Every structure is written in C-alpha cells, then in structure tokens.
Amino acid sequence: MSIKLKGFYGGMQLEGHKTESLTRPLQQASLPDFLILPLKQHIGEANRSLVERGEHVLRGQLIADSSSSISAPIHAPSSGIVRNIEIRPVPHPSGHSDTCIVIDLDGKDESIQQQVVNLDSLTASESIELIRRAGVVGLGGAVFPTSAKLLRASENGIDTLIINGAECEPYITCDDILMRTYSDEIIRGTGYLQRIFNPVCTLIAIEDDKPEAIEAIRQALESQALTQTELVIIPTIYPSGGEKQLVKNLTGKEVPQGQFAFDIGLLCLNIATCVAITRAFEQGESLISRIVTVSGNGIAQPGNWETRLGTPVDHLIRLAGGYRVDQHDSQHLVMGGPMMGFSLSSDCVPIVKASNNILVMQQPTIPMTPGYHDECIRCGNCAEVCPAQLLPQQLYWQARAKDYHRSEEYKLFECIECGCCSAVCPSQIPLVQYYRAAKSEIRASKQALFKSDQSRVRFEFREKRLLLKKQTDEERRRLKREALQKNRLQNKAADSTVDPVQAALARVRAKKQARSSNPKNTTELSTVQQQQIEEADERRRVARLERR
Amino acid sequence: MTTAFVSSPYVSPGRSLKRLMIDVIIGLIPGTLAYAWFFGPGILINIVFAVILAIAVEAAVLRLRQKPIKPHITDFSAVVAAWLFALCLPVHSPWWLIAVGIGFTMIAGKHLYGGLGFNPFNPAMVGYVVLLISFPREMTTWYLPIGIDGDVLGLFDSIAYLFGLVDIQQWDALTSATPLDRYKTGLGQNLTAIEIRQSPLFGIIGGIGWEWVAGGWLLGGLWLFFTRTIRWQIPVAVLASFGAISVVIYLNAPEATASPLFHLFSGGIMLCAFFIATDPVTAATTDHGRIYYGVLIGLLVYLIRGWGGYPDGVAFAVLLANMCVPLIDYYTQPRVYGDDA
C-alpha cells in the first residue's frame, strides 16, 4: 500500500541549514557541575517540589510532581545534592523567571533501582499511567503531557497513528540524528503505541531532505515487521511538521477548530516522544535527557548532543567549541528554530524538555531590526503562505487598531505562529509579534471578564443572602414576640404564686444550660428555615461547579 | 552574556518593498519606451518632471508630518505613483498641469489618508481625475504619433513647451483625437466602424503607435507576473471581463462598434490591467475578491467607453472599484483551516 499525499495550503521553502550540525554523529554531552530544573517544563499545571534543600538525589528519582491530570513529573537527571529551590531565569518567550530545583552533581551519576514491568500484562490505562510517571511530554516542541494526550486518544479511539519525523524548521537536526541513531527504538515505541491503540494504520512521516534518516527507519521497519505501518516521505515545505498540516497532508482531513487530532481519531506523536516511551517501557527510564542541536553561524562546532535536562546552555555552548568571535563579538541566542523559536536573555538558562535547538546567530546577521518597519501595502503575500488560511494582513490591521472583536471573527486564534507571514512580508512587519500581543491581550481581557463576572455573581449572592437573613431575622423576632406575649399572659395568670425574680433567674439558668448543651442552634428549625438552608447549600454547590 | 530581544522569525526577509517597487518600474520600461518612440520624448520629460516633483512633495509632507523622510522616499512608491500619473497625461503638458496633478496625487491621494498603505484610492488616478475634470481642454489635447503627416516635437521643443517657452501654434497638424476618441465621435456621427477605420490614425489592431504601447504594457505586465510582483487574478479578471463584454457587444452590432481586439489594445486598459488595478494598497486582497474587483473594473471601463462622457474610463472605473474594496474583502474571506470541517 502506498498513501497519496493530499498536500496542505500555504507554507514556504526555506534554506535548510541542516548540514552544518550533521557533520558529526550524535555526541553524549558531559555532565555539568550543576543542573537547573524548572518545576514547569510542560503545558498544564506546574509541579510541586518533592525534595528539600540538602537532600541527596539519584538519577531517575522523582523530584517534582503534580496531582493534576495534565502534568508531567520531573526526575533528577543525575545524582547529587539539592543546592536550593529558588526563582531563576528560565527559557521562556517572555524572559521571565520561575521556581527551579538546583542540583549540585556529585559526578557519580548513580541511578535509582529501575523498575522494569512486564509489558504483556499491562492494560492500556496502566501503560498510559506508566508514561505519565516517566514524565514524558511531546518533544516536538509543544511539550503537552503525552499521557494526557494518550488518555484522550484512548477514550476517543484511534484509527490512524501518525509518527512525526518531519522536522521542518531550518537548522534543527535533533530528530534527524535521532532517527539515524535510534531508529529501532522509534519503531519499537511505535509498536507499543499500536498495542495500546490498535490503529487501522500507522504512518511514519519524514521530510525528503533526510535521506539517511529515511533509510535508517526503512531498515528498522523491515527488521521489525510492524503490521499496517507505512513510511511516508513528504516534501520539504515549512511547516509540514505542524500537527494540523501533517494531518491534512497525510489524511486529507482537517482538525476542526477548537479540537485536537485525537478528536477525529488521529494520534500524532513526535519520534523523540516515541523513543521516550520505548525507554519508559523497556528500561523503566524516565525522561531525563533529550537531544539538542546547537547550530547557527555564531557557534564554532555545530552538532547534536544528547543532553541531561537542566544542563545550563553555556555548558552546551562550551561543548560546541564556544562562540565564534572571528567576525562579530556579539551573539544572539535563540531557543528553538529560527521560525518559531524565541530569544534567550542569557546563556545561563537550562535545557528543558522543550529545548530542541540552540541557535547561535551573530548579532548583525539577525535581519529583523526592531522598531522601524514599512507600512503594510496589502500585497497579500502573507495570505498566500499562511498554512492556517488566514488573512494575516487583515489581522495585522485589526491588531494595530486593537479591534479584537474583529480579530476573533477573522480567527486570530487559529494562527499557529509559524512565522511564514513575517518571513515573506515586503514591509518586514513583525506580524507574528503583533498576533502574539493581540492574543495575550484578548486572553487577559477574557480573564478579567471572567473575574468580574465571578465577583458580580458573588456580590449578587451576598445581597440575596443578606436579604434572606433580614427576612428570617424578622420572622424569628415576630415568633419570639408572639411567644413572649403568650408567656406574659400565662405569667400574669401564674403571677400570684411565683416570685418574679426567682422565675427570671430560673429562665436565665435554663437558657444558659440550653445554650451550652446545644450551641449550634440548628435543632429546632422551622421547615421554612430548613428549606432556606438547603437552598443556600444548593446555590453554593452550583456556584462552585460554575467556577470550575 | 546578554542579548537584545527580537521576536521570531529570524530569517532573512524576502523581497523588500523597495525591490517590489523597482520591479514595477522595470515593468513600466517597455511600454514607456514604445510611447516615447511613437510620440516623441515629451512623455519622458513628463515622467521625469512628475517624479522629481513627487519626491519633493513627498519629502515636504513627510517633514510636516514629522515622519522619517529617508526610508519613505527610498521605497520608491512615490516614483511609481508619479510615473503612472505622468503616463496618463497628454504627451505635451504644461508644467503647472503636472504640478497640480502631482499635488493632488501625493497630498490628497496619499498623505492626507496617512501615507503609503493607508490610501483607499489609487493616488495616480485621483490626481488624473482631478485634472480631467478641472482642465478638460488641456487634458484632451492629444498628439499625433510618428508615421502620420505632421510634426512630432523633439526633446528640446518638448522641454521648452513644458515650461511655456514656446507657442504650440507654430507647428502644423500636431494634435488630433486619439483613436478611441475618433471612434466615439465617428459613431456619434452615424459613421460605420469600417468608415471610421479609414482614418490614418488606425494601425494593425489598435491605433498607430498606441497598439505598440499597449503591447509594451502587456510585456511589462508579464514581467510583473513572472517576478511574482503581481498575481494573475486582477489582470486576468480585468482583461477577461473587458474582452467578454466587448465580444458580446461587437457580435451584436459589428458595424457600429469597435472590435474587441481594438478595444484591448487602445486607451489605458492594458496599463490598467497590469499596473493600475494591481496597486495592492487600493485593490482587493483576497483571491476571490481580486477576481470580483478585476471584473468590476473591466466592465466599468467598457461601459464608460461605450456610453460614458469620456472616451476612456480607466481612472473612473478604478476609483469606483476602490470604493467597493472593503465590501469585496469582507464578503470574500477565505475558508480558514478547520472551518466546519
């Protein structure tokens, strides 16, 4: 069988710059003196540290976890002593800082006892739980917790499993070298996924600019004979490796807006994720390292290194021969590819699960000068390359005018920020930057709206409650008045026999006793009061649900 | 080591705005040369004068608006606008006519709206229409091409005329109606198409000279297409709709109308299809929208030629279509990935 490619809209051909980092085989990065492990290295809930300052940890030991279902725990990538848990700069587009566990390594790289499970006895949900415990996330760059994805996929059922080895961004070769080096593990991982999901067919997609990787995968496939599995070679057009574009190209289907591939019976996983799954299954090994490409015109010896997570970027730069200072002495660091990566504020930040590439560019070769750009002339080049089939120039005008209502109407949130529009813009407008800003402002205003809605609901509820209290108080007072009146009448009748002072004291004593024995005052409620309490409880419950 | 923040993508940008404008200018060269060949160097003088004036006006307005002058001047958009404007004028025009036109092109047509990218109307057409309405006599004084008995002004005479240093009356048989004009008046006098074509003004398919100029625009237009400066939709839509309506009308009354080929190679339709209607700022920007926009222009040009008060209708057609652009763009949004999939 051979599938026919359906193609996808837009995209562009870019200079690959892949050969620079492929001149040498995959190397093992040496251990640095210390590791920096941000508590949040995935999309979803942040982890909580499980270790304390001064604690000795071993390689593979769980050091941070979360109870949320959309999360991935973190394990110590090597043995050593926890130096501190502190706020440090982390690799992030906004350049912000976050809580990190810093481990001083002892250099012994001692491992915990790895538990290897009997794979045949595992159920699908046990397998997925095993992947979650190993801290596996999507290593293609999105770092979505793999277990969460697999869980949703197993609920929906999968008919096509797609293994993504496209790697379409320039400079990045970590997936290429992974396919050349660990092709068997990729195929075995594919086999495990097939066992969990039982898909009708499996497609392994690789761009045609990676002949060695294609050959390695082909041989591995032949030797392991997976059923209904096909190697698909796709043309090198950026962004062919984007999940939505790959799905369209291979199956002709489109992922509906606001949904995911698993909602339409497709499961798309990166090849590096596949290897992480294999290692979790076969060796009980958690995700503690990844392959990182170091490339660009500002680095002396570009290449690929299998790097422990938490390794500071400057350590990796040293392994790659340091910065090239022959022509220009200032470098620009980018984490990720040149199309979708982000600038690093310094080389002291660590390698995290998302770090596929460190791009070192000599400063003057960065083409974008911030500040001045020409005006949009509506040429429409951007719309021609937009793989989401948007109208980028209209979105740009809307973003500039802060007409966010329109932005959403023109589907701003379908933008995958691939950068094609910016790359072809004759006026060199940093379009994606405008979209990112607009998106975050829309998100912020939605958050604010949500909060104000919530406060309004709370306020209204409080008003209602106070009114109700007033009513019940009045009711109680009325009842009391009536009772007193009745009492007075009875007392008047009994007046002659009882000393009023003694009677009053007796009443006070009785009252005190009643209060001490029954402080909560909830036993003798009228049915009306009981009903009101139940209604209030119900309202609270509904409000709680809505907040969720 | 710390570095400045710049947002991705970090790739060399594609063709710049400046390069785009230079490509348009290159595309204008064949037609302009043909023009000069057949009608004398006057047209070149008009272009040079208009371009210099446009740059000066642009620089002055940018200064008033406190905008950076150099990057805006060097994007060559003023050169393109002035060049296109000059091509619409009669071969010999007095300096003040060009000055008024350039003033309207650059100030009213472009900068009053906010400069390049913000103008809803094609600036060159704004300047041209203002002149056409305000100075009908000067704007309809057309000159004879070479190859017909009469004088064609040389370089120095043209310059002298531009600045009002010589009297136009000293030459013989200099001016004449354009072929399109001749058709219109001829048909008005109940002459048949064949009788009208007896005039020495007519060449192989269009007017003498004019057909070659139109051919030059076609050639330049193909250059624009192959360098991906313009997309196919607008020129094809303009020429196809214009051609279609002229075929229909011609088949209906062949003796009382000009042939479709004559129409295609006369007047400004060819220039319009490749250079004026394709101005990205004022044209529709969606793929389908560009087709509707082009069709609208093609039909309007023919309607104005056939039944309007002017022999050619390019400028009015373009301005009318410009007005419809926001509407066209709004209703021709493409289907976004994953939309009701």
Same domain, A392 and A417: yes
Give the residue carrying structure tokens 């790659």: A320
Same domain, B216 and B303: yes
CB of B117 within 8 Å of any CB in chain A? yes
CB of A373 within 8 Å of any CB in chain B? no
Choose the closest CB to B337 out of A95, A346, A389. Answer: A389
Same domain, A420 and A462: yes
Same domain, A183 and A238: yes
Same domain, A421 and A491: yes
Q: Which residues lie below 8 Å from residue A45, measured CB to CB, with a gap of 6+?
A: A66, A68, A70, A71
Same domain, A459 and A526: no
Closest CA to A261 of A378, A159, A131: A159
Same domain, B254 and B137: no
Choose the closest CB to A347 out of B1, B6, B115. Answer: B1
Query: What confidence tens digit (pLDDT) does each residue in A307-336 have?
Result: 999 999 999 999 999 888 766 667 788 999
Domain that holds residue A160: 19-32+122-294
Evaluate whether A162 touches A236 at the Cβ level (below 8 Å).
Answer: no
Give the residue carrying structure tokens 């075929």: B247
| Optimal mutation site among B2, B5, B7, B65, interface A, most CBs of chain A within 10 A | B7
Secondary structure class of A83 (helix, strand, coil): strand
Instruction: Select from A470, A497, A524 the last residue of a domain.
Output: A497
Whether A463 is in a domain gets the answer yes
C-alpha torsion sign, points B78, B84, B90, B91: positive
Residue A399 has pLDDT above 80, yes or no: yes
Same domain, B277 and B181: yes
Residue B1 has pLDDT above 50, yes or no: no
**What is the percent of chain B with per-residue pLDDT over 70, rounded to a whole number?**
92
Whether A431 is in a domain gets the answer yes
Number of domains in chain A: 3
Given the DSSP bridges, would you call strands A74-75 and A97-105 parallel, antiparallel or unpaired? Answer: unpaired
Residue A356 has pLDDT above 80, yes or no: yes
Segment 90-149 of chain A within 8 Å of chain B by CB: 95
Query: What confidence tens digit (pLDDT) does each residue in A179-230 have?
Result: 999 999 999 999 999 999 999 999 999 999 999 999 999 999 999 878 889 9
Same domain, A493 and A505: no
Kindly report the number of other CB atoms within 10 A of residue B173's CB atom.
10
Evaluate whether A320 touches A357 at the Cβ level (below 8 Å).
Answer: no
Whether A393 is in a domain gets the answer yes
> What is the DSSP secondary-structure string of A292-334?
EEEESTTBSS-EEEEEETT-BHHHHHHHTT-B--SS-S-EEEE
Query: What confidence tens digit (pLDDT) does each residue in B109-142 have?
Result: 999 999 999 999 999 999 999 999 999 888 877 7
CB of A77 within 8 Å of any CB in chain B? no
Segment 388-447 of chain A within 8 Å of chain B by CB: 388-391, 393-394, 410-411, 414, 419, 422-428, 430, 432-433, 436
Evaluate whether B272 touches B321 at the Cβ level (below 8 Å).
Answer: no
Contact B11 A254 (CB under 8 A): no
| Optimal mutation site among B2, B5, B11, B58, interface A, most CBs of chain A within 10 A | B11
- Give the count of alpha carbons within 13 A of B263, CB side only: 31
Give the residue carrying structure tokens 């002339």: A377
Q: Which amino acid is at B42?
A: G
Contact A347 B333 (CB under 8 A): no
pLDDT at A331: 79
Same domain, A395 and A450: yes
Give the whole-angstrom CA distance, residue A436 versus residue A149.
25
pLDDT at B95: 92
pLDDT at B4: 45
- Domain containing residue A200: CATH number: 3.40.50.11540
Instruction: Select from B143, B170, B197 the last residue of a domain.
Output: B170
CB of A9 within 8 Å of any CB in chain B? yes
Cβ neighbours of A343 in B, within 8 Å: 3-8
Whether A343 is in a domain gets the answer no
Cβ neighbours of A368 in B, within 8 Å: 6-7, 9-10, 13
Cβ neighbours of B340 in A, within 8 Å: 256
Same domain, A507 and A521: yes
CB of B309 within 8 Å of any CB in chain A? no
Whether B138 is in a domain gets the answer yes
Same domain, A491 and A539: no
Same domain, A456 and A528: no
Q: Which amino acid is at A316?
A: L
Whether A73 is in a domain gets the answer no
Domain that holds residue B303: 177-329
pLDDT at A373: 81
Closest CA to A293 of A175, A422, A159, A181: A175
Give the whole-angstrom CA distance, residue B178 versus residue B266.
9
Whether A200 is in a domain gets the answer yes
Same domain, A489 and A539: no
Secondary structure class of A99 (helix, strand, coil): strand
Contact B9 A380 (CB under 8 A): no
How far is C-alpha A273 from the geometric centre of its chain's CA atoms? 15
Same domain, B197 and B310: yes
Helices (H), A67-173: 124-133, 146-156
Instruction: Select from A294, A312, A334 the last residue of a domain.
Output: A294
**Per residue in B91-106, is it b (16+ CB within 10 Å) or e — as a string?**
bbbbeebbebbbbbbb
Mean pLDDT score across all residues of chain A: 90
Give the whole-angstrom CA distance, residue B127 versus residue A301.
59
Query: For residue A65, what are the β-bridge partners?
Result: A48
Question: Shortest Cα distance from B4 to chain A (angstroms)?
Answer: 7
The two three-digit tokens of residue B17, written as one number: 């705005």
Q: Please, is A441 exposed, middle or buried when counting C-beta atoms within 10 Å of its C-beta (0-12, 13-18, 19+)?
A: middle
| Optimal mutation site among A13, A15, A377, interface B, most CBs of chain B within 10 A | A377
Give the whole-angstrom CA distance, residue A101 versus residue A84.
6
Contact B2 A345 (CB under 8 A): yes
Contact B280 A378 (CB under 8 A): yes
Same domain, B23 and B156: yes
| Optimal mutation site among A379, A403, A422, interface B, most CBs of chain B within 10 A | A379
Give the whole-angstrom CA distance, residue A147 versus residue A166.
22
| ipTM reported for the complex, 2 dp | 0.86
H or E segment to which residue A75 belongs: strand A74-75
Q: Please, is A499 exposed, middle or buried when counting C-beta atoms within 10 Å of its C-beta (0-12, 13-18, 19+)?
A: exposed
Greater model confidence, B92 or B217: B217
Whether B11 is in a domain gets the answer no
Instruction: Select from B170, B196, B228 the last residue of a domain.
Output: B170
Cβ neighbours of A422 in B, within 8 Å: 8-9
Q: Which residues lie below 8 Å from residue A242, measured CB to CB, with a gap of 6+?
A: A168, A387, A416, A418
Contact B116 A383 (CB under 8 A): no
**What is the percent of chain A with per-residue pLDDT over 70, rounded to a whole number?**
95
Same domain, B211 and B135: no
Evaluate whether A431 touches A396 at the Cβ level (below 8 Å).
Answer: yes
pLDDT at B173: 54
The two three-digit tokens of residue A371, written as one number: 């500040």
pLDDT at A99: 94
Residue A369 has pLDDT above 60, yes or no: no
Q: Edge-to-edge strand order for the sheet containing A97-105? A: A34-38, A97-105, A80-89, A56-57
Report how many Cβ contacts below 8 Å link chain A to chain B.
168
Number of domains in chain B: 2
Contact B286 A391 (CB under 8 A): yes
Whether B9 is in a domain gets the answer no
pLDDT at A366: 59
pLDDT at A232: 95
Give the whole-angstrom CA distance, residue A352 versus residue A330.
24
Instruction: Select from A243, A267, A294 the last residue of a domain.
Output: A294
Evaluate whether B266 touches B260 at the Cβ level (below 8 Å).
Answer: no
Using a CB cutoff of 8 Å and minimum separation of 24, what contacts does A365-371 make? A365/A297, A365/A328, A366/A332, A366/B6, A366/B10, A367/A428, A367/B10, A367/B11, A367/B12, A367/B13, A368/A428, A368/A430, A368/B6, A368/B7, A368/B9, A368/B10, A368/B13, A370/A430, A370/B4, A370/B5, A370/B6, A370/B7
Q: Edge-to-edge strand order for the sheet containing A74-75? A: A48-49, A62-65, A74-75
Cβ neighbours of B71 in A, within 8 Å: 372, 374
Contact B341 A426 (CB under 8 A): no
Residue A48 has pLDDT above 70, yes or no: yes
Which pLDDT band, with edges at 50, 70 and 90, does B303 fall under?
very high
Query: What confidence tens digit (pLDDT) does each residue in A220-263 have?
Result: 999 987 888 999 999 999 999 999 999 999 999 999 998 899 99
Cβ neighbours of A430 in B, within 8 Å: 7
Taking 3-state DSSP, the helix, strand and coil percentages for chain B, each rounded to the nearest 5, stand at 60, 0, 35
The two three-digit tokens of residue A226, written as one number: 């997976």
Same domain, B313 and B181: yes
Give the whole-angstrom CA distance, residue B242 versus residue B239.
5
The pTM is what? Answer: 0.83
Cβ neighbours of A378 in B, within 8 Å: 117, 280-281, 283, 285
pLDDT (mean) for A78-83: 95
Whether B5 is in a domain gets the answer no
Evaluate whether A278 touches A52 at the Cβ level (below 8 Å).
Answer: no
Closest CA to A10 of B309, B334, B9: B334
Query: For residue A292, what are the β-bridge partners?
Result: A305
Which pLDDT band, with edges at 50, 70 and 90, does A520 fall under?
low
Which pLDDT band, with edges at 50, 70 and 90, does A77 fall under?
very high
Give the whole-angstrom CA distance, residue B61 versus residue A114.
74
Residue A413 has pLDDT above 90, yes or no: yes
Question: Shortest Cα distance from A442 to chain B (angstroms)?
Answer: 19
**Per residue in B282-312, is it b (16+ CB within 10 Å) or e — as a string?**
bbbbbeebbbbbbbbbbbbbbebbbebebbb
Same domain, B184 and B325: yes
Closest CA to A412 of A384, A430, A431, A428: A431
CB of A372 within 8 Å of any CB in chain B? yes
SS (H, E, C) A32-52: CCEEEEECCCCCCCCCEECCC
Whether B1 is in a domain gets the answer no
Query: What confidence tens digit (pLDDT) does each residue in A461-513 have?
Result: 999 999 999 999 999 999 999 999 998 888 777 666 667 788 888 888 888 87
Same domain, B220 and B318: yes
Same domain, B190 and B162: no
Upstream peptide bond of B30 is cis (omega within 30 degrees of 0)? no
Whether A184 is in a domain gets the answer yes
pLDDT at A88: 93
| Optimal mutation site among B5, B6, B10, interface A, most CBs of chain A within 10 A | B10
Same domain, A444 and A503: no
Choose the closest CB to B337 out of A378, A388, A433. Answer: A388
pLDDT (mean) for A330-348: 88
Which pLDDT band, with edges at 50, 70 and 90, does B209 fall under?
confident
What radius of gyration, in Å, describes the C-alpha atoms of chain A? 32
CB of B71 within 8 Å of any CB in chain A? yes
Give the whole-angstrom CA distance, residue A61 versus residue A116.
15
Contact B71 A388 (CB under 8 A): no
CB of A239 within 8 Å of any CB in chain B? no
Give the whole-angstrom CA distance, residue A359 versus residue A357.
6
Same domain, B231 and B302: yes
CB of B197 within 8 Å of any CB in chain A? no
Residue A97: phi, psi to the nearest 5? -110, 160
CA distances from A250 to A141, A162, A246, B222 (A): 21, 9, 6, 36
Give the whole-angstrom CA distance, residue A41 versus residue A55.
22
| Optimal mutation site among A316, A335, A374, interface B, most CBs of chain B within 10 A | A374
Same domain, B225 and B202: yes
Query: What confidence tens digit (pLDDT) does each residue in B12-59 have?
Result: 777 889 999 999 999 999 999 999 988 888 899 999 999 999 999 999
Contact B3 A388 (CB under 8 A): no
pLDDT at B2: 37
Whether A255 is in a domain gets the answer yes
Residue A158 has pLDDT above 80, yes or no: yes
pLDDT at B9: 86
Question: Shortest Cα distance from A459 to chain B (angstroms)?
Answer: 39
Query: For residue A305, what are the β-bridge partners?
Result: A27, A292
Instruction: Select from B130, B152, B170 the last residue of a domain.
Output: B170
Which pLDDT band, with edges at 50, 70 and 90, does B294 fall under?
very high
pLDDT at A161: 95
Contact A426 B117 (CB under 8 A): no
